[in-house]
Structure formats: C-alpha cells, structure tokens
Amino acid sequence: MSRRRPVYLDHQATTPLDPRVLQAMLPWLMGEFGNAASLQHAYGWAAESAVNAAREEIAEALGAAPREVVFTSGATESNNLAILGFARAARRTGAHVVTSAVEHRAVLDPCRALSAEGFEVTLVPPDREGRVSPESVEAALTDRTILVSVMAANNEVGALNPIGRIAALCAERGLAFHTDAAQAFGKVPFGVGGGVALASLSAHKLYGPKGVGALFVRSRPRVPLAPILHGGGHERGLRSGTLNVPGIVGFAAAVRIARREREAEAERLGRLRDRLETAIRASLDGVTSNGPPSGPDRLPGNLSLSFAGVDGSRLVSSLRGVAVSSGSACTTASGEPSHVLRALGLPEPLAKATLRFGVGRFTSEGQVDEAAAEVVAVVRRLRSENESLRD
C-alpha cells in the first residue's frame, strides 16, 4: 500500500498545472506540432497563429503592446537577458547597477557576473519586513547608474515592493528599471505602466507549465538589449531558439484564468494563510513571523515562520507529511541560511529554523489544519530532544 503524498504547501517554488491549462495545451502537444518559425506551410502557420494569440493575451494582461512580449524559457532566463543584455548594450553610458539584497539568485548572480566584467553593483538593504523603499534606491544612485532591478514580490517572505514609485523615480532620472515579477504576476495587481522598462515573468508560478516565461521589453522609448542566446534571430533577434508552442499556449491560458479569478483567489488564500498561522501560534510559543503582516503589502498565500529552540537542519526533513521549504527552492540545497532572512536581520540559528509556507489554488482548509498539526508536533518533539541533550 503506497504512502499518502504530503500536503503541498510550497507554491512559491512552483504551482501544479491547472487542468484547464493542460486542456488548452494538449492539441499543441500532439496534432498541432508545427514550428512557429516554419512559415512555408500550414503546420508552421498554425503554430505562429497560436503564439501570436498568446502574445496578445499576455500583453493585454500587462498593459503592454504584443511586440513588447519576448518569450523565454522562464524568469531565470528573462532576468539574465534583462540584466546582462541591458548592461552590456548600455555600457558606454555608465557601468553601475543597483539592485536589492533580497533579490532571487536569478538576479543576484547575473549582477555578480557583471561585477566580474567591471561593472559596479550596489545592493540596497530592505526594511525589517523585507520591503525595498524608493528612498533607499534613490540614495544608491550615482551619475554612472544605468539600471535598477527590484523584485515586485519577494519569493521568501512575500513582501510587495512599491514598484510603481521606484519605476517613476528611475524614469525621472532617465534610468532603466527592471523588475522580477515572477511571484507577483497573476497573484496581485501588476502592470508595466509608469516607467517599468523590463519585467520578467514565469508560467509555472501561476499554474502554468514549467520551462516557459517571458520578458517585457518596452519599445517606446526603446530599451536596448544585447541578446545572450544566438542562433536564428527569433523573437525580434532578442532570443534565438525554437519557441515552446505548447508551453506558450499554456502560459496564456494560465494568465487568462488568473485574470478572471485573481481577486476571489487572493481573498481565499489570505484566509487560509491566516488560518495556518493562527493554528500554529495557538499551540506554540517562540514563533516569529517574517515579512509584512497579512494585508495589502504581502502575497496572499505566503507565510514565513521561524521557530526558536529548534535545530534548523532537522526541521524540514522531519516534516514527512508536509511539503514546505526553508527558503528559495534555488538556494536551499546549499545548506546556508537564507540571504533574504539574514538581510532582514535574523540571526543564523533562527534563519535556519524557518519554514516558508505557500498555500495555493487547490489547497483546502482540511489540508491547512493537517499541516498545522504536524508542524506543531514536530517542533514540540525537536524542542524536547534539544532539552534532553542539554540535560
């Protein structure tokens, strides 16, 4: 008899594919298998038409023009194209990039690569709740600054940044502003008006397929980009490679569903998140919440809790019935404490003893209650074992 799978509460890492998205993709996985760049026959024409329709739908959701949506393999590639591509294209005008200390590694690592190329990179610290203020960004600007990159929503503590104000600040200074919007797009109101020059998106964060994303690239005024992939000149020469037609169709379907259901879903997820936190806090002391309080400054389904008196190295591995993480899915394998939590001022032991919960579209109240009960039981056991060792 197979063991029941754990309750999935890691929706910031990835979301399950919505069955409605799968239905939209199926024809393009089988009979409609053409290459969207094969424009000499009906198979290619059909694929091109599907890509164009998806591009229009995603552009409309962003408040952009279709030609400003460049399809990629996901937000990591989009971040690399935005940061490396713009900095290299605009280097003659300056060589200073400003970003934040709580960005995803898909932003921090390209910035580190720019440092190796001779660029100066400034990391702006967040406030105690993980938000990046326009004032702190402004203080970091110099006459050599060419690019500012600040995420729309933090993937670990759920903090929503004042992107509109930061983008406006950059526009006033004639600077390019990029935002990693992978966690925000489809979950909270997000658009590219008001000065956003570049925005990275990902399908698998909003119940679409893995392996597909997009980069918004403003056309007026034109944002220069040097491509990082070469070989065919696809996507207006910005991103070579055969387009993932089924993935792109699925991405658009996921966006369509999110636009229709986002407000009701956000309200439900907020209630589930609060239910989870209340249940855990009611049974445990020594629990610290990271990030903004529940409300308009936080992703609806995100909850980050730190547990005092617990061996962090054993916490996640002891939760056999709940699938959660201690931080970003891209950094937890290193065993190092979260750079986001350290930037918020958490000491290393508490940063390591942190769980990131992400409730999602298919999470039920019963699953939340089941997860809370297991977390409480595991934390109590680990604390008891620690007490025994000290005795």
- What are the pLDDT digits (tens) for 2-41? 568 999 999 999 999 999 999 999 999 999 999 999 999 9
Residue carrying structure tokens 């958490």: 346
Classify strands 96-100 and 120-124 as parallel, antiparallel or unpaired. parallel
Amino acid at 266: A
Q: How far is residue 133's CA from residue 186's CA, in Å, rounded to a whole number?
A: 23
Q: Are 320 and 378 in contact (CB under 8 A)?
A: no
The angle, 0 to 180 degrees and rounded to 10, between the axes of the packed helices 105-116 and 75-89 is 30
DSSP state of 5: P
User: How far apart are alpha carbons 209 and 15 in whole angstroms?
Assistant: 9
Can you tell me the distance from the alpha carbon of 151 to that of 299, in angstroms, rounded to the nearest whole number?
13
Q: What span, in angstroms and rounded, lies between the C-alpha atoms of 281 and 279?
A: 6
**152 burial class (0-12, 13-18, 19+ CB within 10 angstroms)?**
buried
Amino acid letter for position 204: H
Is it true that the peptide bond before 293 is cis, omega within 30 degrees of 0?
no
Average pLDDT over residues 235-249: 95
Matching residue, tokens 């400034």: 122
10: its two tokens: 């890691």
Question: Domains of the chain (ranges plus CATH)?
Answer: 7-15+262-379 (3.90.1150.10), 19-256 (3.40.640.10)
* Statement: residue 109 has pLDDT above 90: yes
Considering only residues 388 and 91, tell me which one the structure prediction assigns the higher pLDDT.
Answer: 91
Mean pLDDT computed over 278-299: 95
User: What average pLDDT does the segment 264-280 reach?
Assistant: 98
> What is the pLDDT of the chain when averaged over all its residues?
95
Beta bridge pairs of residue 216? 69, 199
Single pTM value for the model: 0.95
Q: What is the pLDDT of residue 387?
A: 72
> How much of the chain, in percent, has pLDDT values that exceed 90?
91
Does residue 378 carry a pLDDT above 50?
yes
How confident is residue 247, by pLDDT bands cut at 50, 70 and 90? very high
Q: Are strands 287-290 and 198-202 parallel, antiparallel or unpaired?
A: unpaired
Helices (H) and strands (E) in the chain, counts: 11, 12
For the segment 298-318, the average pLDDT, to the nearest whole number, is: 95
pLDDT at res. 84:
98
pLDDT for position 386: 78
> Who wins on pLDDT, 391 or 278?
278
Q: What angle do CA 172, 177, 182 make, to 5 degrees?
A: 145
What are the structure tokens assigned to 295, written together?
């409300």
Q: How confident is the model at residue 1 (pLDDT cuts 50, 70, 90)?
A: very low
Round to whole Å and give the CA distance between 61 and 66: 10
Q: What is the residue whose two structure tokens read 């019935």?
A: 321
pLDDT for residue 66 is more than 70: yes
Tell me the mean pLDDT in the region 153-160.
98
Quickly state the pLDDT bin for 390 (edges 50, 70, 90): low
Lowest-confidence region among 59-73, 130-144, 225-239: 225-239
- Pairing between strand 322-323 and 7-8? parallel
Specify whether the CB–CB gap between 165 and 131 falls below 8 A. no
Write down the pLDDT at residue 206: 98
Within 8 A by CB and 6+ apart from 154, the residues are 102, 130, 160, 161, 183, 291, 299, 340
307/381 Cα distance (integer angstroms): 12
Rounded to a whole number of angstroms, the distance between the first and last alpha carbons of the chain is 41
Region 101-119 average pLDDT: 98
* Averaged pLDDT for residues 306-327: 92
What is the identity of the amino acid at 118? Answer: G
Kindly state the helix (H) or strand (E) to which residue 289 belongs, with its residue range. strand 287-290
Dist CA 250 CA 11 (whole Å): 18
Please identify every residue annotated as catalytic. Answer: 330
pLDDT in tens, 181-192: 999 999 999 999
Cα separation, 314 vs 379, whole angstroms: 10
Q: Is residue 114 over pLDDT 50?
A: yes
pLDDT greater than 60 at residue 381: yes
Dihedral sign, Cα of residue 337, residue 203, residue 201, residue 81? positive
**C-alpha atoms less than 13 angstroms from C-alpha of 345 in its C-beta half-sphere:** 11
pLDDT at 389: 65
Arithmetic mean of pLDDT, 348-367: 97
**pLDDT band, residue 336 (cuts 50/70/90):** confident
Q: Please determine, for residue 334, whether its predicted confidence score (pLDDT) is greater than 70.
A: no
Beta-sheet strands, E only, within 32-172: 69-72, 96-100, 120-124, 145-149
